[in-house]
Structure 1
Amino acid sequence: MLGKAELRAAGLKAINPQLDFGNSRSVEQLTDLIAKLRARIDAYNTALAVIDSSKSEIESLEKMLGELTEQLLIGVAYQYGNDSREYEMAGGVRKSDRVRRSSISRIRANAESQSSQQLPTS
């Protein structure tokens, strides 16, 4: 819309730079409104750039936070063991509390996944 308005303003200025039809309908009013819109678009784009920068910084901080918490959990596991209450308190799952699937259910799951991967023959 801005480009179209700028082209129209240039055409109107070519006819008469002082063109005025009254009731706030003049080339000067059009030029002022174009300038206001351009300024608002520039402010908007600047705000978007700041938001994008903040988003990148947030993602970087989240990654650093995740790495630090993981390293701290590994440190607790190293010092107290991964089956300790301290490990559980730090957010880990104790080794003795981990549920292992039985060998029968693992065999059944493998058989089901392989049968679903095979294509029916025509």
Structure 2
Amino acid sequence: MMRRQRSSPILKKAVRRASCMNSIDPNLDVGNGLTLPAFSKLIDTMQTKKNAYNSALANLDKLYREMLETERELGDMAEHMLMGVGVKYGRSSVEYGMAGGVPKNQRRKRLRGESPTSSSQPPLFVASVDSNGNGNKQAMTS
């Protein structure tokens, strides 16, 4: 996902306005320090900052993609390391458990109809339907 580059409608409007004012007088001074050269300098500063910001976003996107790729590699290597410990010491060994695996002889056996995510605790909320079809949630207490 690339981040959107920043554009500035105010900057575009200022550039147009400066070019129009330049046709009036290249050294236009309307008083109180408002001069066309100062206006042009501020426009250039804004363009420089916008370009720097957009470049930083592009670099950030590149770093993010590199980080995700390294994270995938790390996950794969961690899995392979655990599998290697299982091959070397056995999947029922203490070393396998120390490496982060669940030893084969300590795995919980599932019953036939039981799903891997089911638990022995009752649900916190049970939906009931009244006679007009509206669902009402009622809390169950244990």
TM-score bracket relative to the smaller structure: 0.7 to 0.9
How much does 1:104 deviate? Answer: 4.7
Please list, as runs of the form range in 1=range in 2, the aligned pairs for 1:27-106 lying within 5 A after superposition.
27-106=36-115
Instruction: Flag the structure with more relative contact order, 1 or 2, with Cα contacts below 8 A and sequence separation at least 6.
Output: 2
How much does 1:101 deviate? Answer: 2.4
Count of residue pairs brought into register by the alignment: 107
* CA RMSD, 1 decimal: 1.5
**Aligned AA (2:87):** Y
- What SS does the corresponding residue of 2:70 show, helix, strand or coil? helix
How much does 1:96 deviate? Answer: 1.9
- For 1:16 and 1:40, the matched residues in 2 are separated by 27
**Aligned AA (1:37):** M
Q: Give 4+ residue runs of structure 1 displaced > 3 Å after superposition.
A: none
- For 1:56 and 1:4, the matched residues in 2 are separated by 35
TM-score, with length taken from structure 2 = 0.69
- What SS does the corresponding residue of 2:101 show, helix, strand or coil? coil
- For 1:47 and 1:33, the matched residues in 2 are separated by 21
**Aligned AA (1:5):** A
Please list, as runs of the form range in 1=range in 2, the aligned pairs for 1:12-23 lying within 5 A after superposition.
12-23=21-32
Question: Which has the larger share of strand?
Answer: 2
For structure 2, which runs of at least 5 residues remain unmatched after alignment?
1-9, 119-142
**In percent, how many aligned pairs have the same letter?**
38
**Aligned AA (2:93):** S
**Aligned AA (1:72):** M
- For 1:100 and 1:21, the matched residues in 2 are separated by 85
Question: Which has the larger share of helix?
Answer: 1
